Amino acid sequence: MSLLKILHLVGSAENDFYCDLSRLYAQDCLTATAERERYEFQIAYITPDGLWRFPTSLSPEDIAVAQPMSLFAAIEFITTQNIDLVLPQMFCISGMTHYRGLFDLLKIPYIGNTPDVMAIAAHKAKAKSIVAAAGVKVPPGQLLRRGEKPTISPPAVVKPATSDNSMGLTLVKDVGEYDTALKTAFEYADEVIVEKFIELGREVRCGVIVNNGELVGLPLEEYLVDPEQKPIRNYSDKLSKTEDGNLYLTAKDNFAAWIVDTNDPITAKVQQVAKKCHQALGCRHYSLFDFRIDSMGEPWFLEAGLYCSFASKSVIPCMAKAAGISLDELLTTAINETLGNCT
């Protein structure tokens, strides 16, 4: 039986941050799945100069000796490799949209959501509008462009419409804080969301996977927040850098984040809402959503994060593990859903 040939799509043509973030997760995935005998892995690594490389590993040494290629040359190379499936590992906007669209044109199937769905989810205001139309609770908010002023009374959250990992996010407690918060947010995007702050409560994420066409809600992951000391999560709660400049994950410990007991009444309620979000946005294979739980136990949609690297420290695999689903089973299920939809 021939091995399934999987191409890991890694890096970013946008900037070094997203390139490093992608490499961080992709390396974890490659390490965690290295012993699988059913797959043959290949790597496509895109750098901020727009060039492609096909290194034998993601080590700096192997990347350095890999021949850089133009997009045209890379396409020519890929079409000779008999790739069965692509595993997207890119987290920048173009990586989640244009590069996935490229493989649609090449008629090579890939795990995860389509470019149009990724583009909607990447724009927080658009995603909010769609799930709200499906009956999901969302915080009242405004979408602002430069020069426009918010009319929402604090406390309010100000955040870029199209950035992740809490970059540019500020909790505004007084009207006088708006100018600085808006200036910060506009450093990351041309549009900014100002939305009413949902008092705690709790903050959780819920993953949904598709198995044989059925939506399966995974155990929730809860994050450390506190009404007084930490009312919101910021960038440092998610990512940091080592002394040598490499990114690492800061939220992956039992103190900052933990799996919620599935007997907790909030689990079923959030899973039901997450499935509604999944369907409203037109997701496939898997999805991931952030919710703020108010003091009455009601979930409010914050945003969608429709990607999974299948790394051991990635959120969906962590949730799946808590449900007794190994990383191998999770990847196999996603592969089956992907290839099954192509037959």
Per-residue tens of pLDDT for the chain, all 343 residues: 578 999 999 999 999 999 999 999 999 999 998 777 788 999 999 999 999 999 999 999 999 999 999 999 999 999 999 999 999 999 999 999 999 999 999 999 999 999 999 999 999 999 999 999 999 999 999 999 999 999 999 999 999 999 876 789 999 999 999 999 999 999 999 999 999 999 888 999 999 999 999 999 999 999 988 776 677 766 454 444 445 555 445 455 456 789 999 999 999 999 999 999 999 999 999 999 999 999 999 999 999 999 899 999 899 999 999 999 999 999 999 999 999 965 4
Strands (E) across 199-341 are located at 202-211, 214-217, 221-223, 239-241, 247-249, 257-259, 286-293, 299-304
For residue 154 the two structure tokens come to 């604090």
Task: Tell me the CA distances in angstroms from 12 to 21, 23, 80, 134, 262, one per residue in order.
Answer: 9, 9, 23, 33, 37
Please tell me the distance from the alpha carbon of residue 123 to that of residue 127, in angstroms, as a whole number: 6
Please tell me the distance from the alpha carbon of residue 228 to that of residue 63, in angstroms, as a whole number: 46
Is the separation of the CB atoms in 28 and 312 below 8 Å?
yes
The one-letter code for the residue type at 113 is N
Q: How far is CA 177 from the centre of its chain?
A: 29
- pLDDT score for 343: 42
Break the chain down into helix, strand, coil percent, rounded to 5.
Answer: 35, 25, 40
Please tell me the distance from the alpha carbon of residue 2 to that of residue 89, in angstroms, as a whole number: 24
List, in order of start, the domains of the chain with CATH numbers: 4-110 (3.40.50.20), 119-136+199-340 (3.30.470.20), 141-196 (3.30.1490.20)
- Give strand pairing partners of 208: 217, 287
Please tell me the distance from the alpha carbon of residue 327 to that of residue 343, in angstroms, as a whole number: 25
Provide the terminal-to-terminal Cα distance of the chain, rounded to the nearest Å. Answer: 19
Q: How far is CA 258 from the centre of its chain?
A: 18
Please tell me the distance from the alpha carbon of residue 308 to that of residue 111, in angstroms, as a whole number: 9
* pTM for the full predicted model: 0.90
- pLDDT score for 233: 63
- pLDDT score for 247: 43
- pLDDT score for 201: 82
